[in-house]
Amino acid sequence: MSDDYIDYRLIRSQMSSELEEIITEGNLGEQLESVLRAVCVLPYPDIQFPIIASFIASPVTLMSTAGILFLWGLAVLESHR
């Protein structure tokens, strides 16, 4: 394997104590961001999670023009044995 390989199992085990309480106190954006942080790992979380949370919370039914968020990358799914 290359040096660029990220072992998500190690990241998940390091974050296990933080994931006991998934939804934090705060407004809807902060709660969405806390759930996103609990379910996915991103390379630049302090930049990416607030942007993703703002797109999820956008009131698209009230907007005449809505933004489009494109995400691409490798999705790693691990089956539970």
In the block, which residue shows the tokens 């993703």?
Answer: 52
N- to C-terminal Cα separation, the chain: 24
Q: What is the pLDDT of residues 3-55, one digit of tens each?
A: 677 787 887 777 766 655 666 778 888 888 888 888 888 888 898 888 888 88
Q: Show Cβ contacts of residue 42 under 8 Å, excluding neighbours closer than 6 positions.
A: 48, 49
Residue percentage of the chain with pLDDT more than 90: 0
Q: What is the pLDDT of residues 43-66, one digit of tens each?
A: 888 988 888 888 888 888 888 888
